[in-house]
Amino acid sequence: MIAHHIRDENLKELGIKRIEWAERDMPVLRKIRERFAEEKPFAGKKIAACLHVTTETANLMRTLKEGGAEVRLCASNPLSTQDDVAAALVHHYGISVFAINGEDTDTYYEHIESCLEFDPLITHDDGADLVSTLHQKYAETKAKNIWGSMEETTTGVIRLKALERSGKLLFPLFSINDAQTKHFFDNRYGTGQSTLDGILRATNRLIAGSTVVVAGYGWCGRGFAMRAKGHGARVIITEVNPVKALEAKMDGYEVMPMAEAAPQGDIFCTITGDINVIRPEHFEKMKDGAIVANSGHFNVEIDINGLKKMAKKVNEKVRPFVDEYVLSDGRSIFILGDGRLVNLAAAEGHPAAVMDMSFALQALTAEYVVKNEGNFPKKVHDVPEHIDQWVAKIKLETMNTKIDELTEEQKEYLASWELGT
């Protein structure tokens, strides 16, 4: 039996059904899998992945395995693991998984260790925990074997760029997040829809007529604000970047500091990558019954410890994923999913059709690393343009959408501008 640590193998059948359901919406990844099955680009290679253990990730793992890789997977967040998917991966698809929904911090890091134990050549991260462990504990050993590593999310790329600036990067990194076919779609449409989905599943609140406060108007915030507005909410944006704030204003939203938004909001969601965006001075002003969620990568955007100190009582799980904090003046504040990514804690993460592109990028960039035997400078690289373009082209094809092609005359005309003639 392959190495693994999961909750319950009996959940396997449900997991298989849900993985197959997601697969229907992942035609680009399917095309890659079919080619990998013939070409076996990863034959004899070991790949470790620290990603949300969801149905879409399962299809990426299948693709890498089909390409000949030996694969190990652990979770990139203790609350996002779908235990049925973990069971199916181990007991049906033959892929090693170390992940249990709700695992404590020690177990989370033990699972990362289990993934690194088999000395991978390639790694995939969502938040840079695997790469950070390699840098902190295995700089002289396992890190030296790594040919290249893919990073999925904004916060992970920020961590890696900080490592790069300090001159301490031990192997080449590839920022999947910065590819156009990733953040234009995954962060905006994926996070937008699934964050709303998480809040709805956790609360079943009517969005129409509510005031929704969105902290951060980056790619994810824009997507969520757009979807909340589409459901009939009055949407308020809080920002720290004047350009993004201006964009939000011209997109038709109200823009104000969190201190002013706090007494107005019915539902709050942070998506900034920043720390303590909502804190006691804001809780002080919130309405009774305010709902507070986070969709940024780490559970640091809401100061829950500060709220705990203010609360005279905490009623845990008044509904699944909802904790009630009763303040001394009798008001209640509801925190969703312990302040962790609400779209993964309370819903199922991004829809498969969006992850199709992100994970096509992950698979093709891993192949690119192997083809070049990891011969890249030790820095954070962009995904090659040809991979980004290919993913967009194939996604359009699978959506039965054609576009114009440049005529020879147009090519010459545009080239003349590039030459400055």
| CA 212/CA 295 separation, integer angstroms | 14
| Range 279-298, binding ligand NAI (CB under 6 A) | 295-297
In the bound state with ligand NAI, the residue whose beta carbon lies nearer, of 23 and 126, is 126
| CA 255/CA 261 separation, integer angstroms | 9
Q: Which of 302, 6, 359 is nearest to 177 (CA)?
A: 359
Determine contact, residues 243/268, Cβ cutoff 8 Å: no
Q: Is 193 in the site for ligand NAI (CB under 6 A)?
A: no
Determine contact, residues 63/26, Cβ cutoff 8 Å: no
In this chain, which stretch among 6-14, 81-89, 106-114, 149-157 interacts with ligand NAI, using CB under 6 A? 149-157
> Residue 178's Cα: distance from chain center in Å?
13
CB of 88 to ligand NAI, least distance (A): 22
Give the number of residues in contact with ligand NAI, rule: CB under 6 A. 28
Q: Is 274 in the site for ligand NAI (CB under 6 A)?
A: yes
In the bound state with ligand NAI, the residue whose beta carbon lies nearer, of 236 and 370, is 236
Q: Is 239 in the site for ligand NAI (CB under 6 A)?
A: yes
Which residue in the set 48, 89, 336, 341 belongs to the binding site for ligand NAI (CB under 6 A)? 341
Which residue in the set 36, 189, 219, 224 belongs to the binding site for ligand NAI (CB under 6 A)? 219
In the bound state with ligand NAI, the residue whose beta carbon lies nearer, of 200 and 326, is 200
Residue nearest to ligand NAI (CB): 218
Residue 264 per-residue DSSP state: T
CB of 360 to ligand NAI, least distance (A): 17
Contact string (CB under 6 A) for ligand NAI, positions 293-322, x = contact: --xxx-------------------------
Sheet strands (E) in 142-296: 148-151, 173-175, 211-215, 234-238, 254-255, 267-270, 290-294
Number of helices followed by number of strands (H, E) in the chain:
18, 15
**Strand 332-336 relative to strand 322-327, pairing:** antiparallel
| Range 171-190, binding ligand NAI (CB under 6 A) | 183, 187
Which residue in the set 57, 76, 96, 153 belongs to the binding site for ligand NAI (CB under 6 A)? 153
In the bound state with ligand NAI, the residue whose beta carbon lies nearer, of 69 and 202, is 202
Q: Is 77 in the site for ligand NAI (CB under 6 A)?
A: no
Coil, strand, or helix at residue 137? helix
In this chain, which stretch among 225-233, 237-245, 354-362, 378-386 interacts with ligand NAI, using CB under 6 A? 237-245
Q: Which helix (H) or strand (E) holds 360?
A: helix 352-371
Where helices occur in 5-69 by DSSP H, the ranges are 12-24, 27-39, 55-66
Contact string (CB under 6 A) for ligand NAI, positions 253-272, x = contact: ------------------xx
Q: Is 54 in the site for ligand NAI (CB under 6 A)?
A: no
Q: Is 362 in the site for ligand NAI (CB under 6 A)?
A: no
In degrees rounded to 5, what are phi and psi of residue 24?
-60, -30
Which residue in the set 54, 154, 193, 203 belongs to the binding site for ligand NAI (CB under 6 A)? 154
In the bound state with ligand NAI, the residue whose beta carbon lies nearer, of 208 and 243, is 243
- Phi/psi class of residue 194: alpha, beta or left (left: φ > 0; alpha: ψ in -120 to 50)? alpha
Determine contact, residues 94/359, Cβ cutoff 8 Å: no
Q: Is 36 in the site for ligand NAI (CB under 6 A)?
A: no
Structure tokens at 113: 């260790």
Determine contact, residues 218/155, Cβ cutoff 8 Å: no
- Cβ within 8 Å of residue 306, ≥6 positions away: 276, 279, 280, 283
In the bound state with ligand NAI, the residue whose beta carbon lies nearer, of 90 and 213, is 213
Q: Is 215 in the site for ligand NAI (CB under 6 A)?
A: yes
Determine contact, residues 152/396, Cβ cutoff 8 Å: no
Contacts with ligand NAI by CB under 6 A lie at 153-155, 183, 187, 191, 215-221, 238-241, 244, 271-274, 277, 295-297, 341, 343
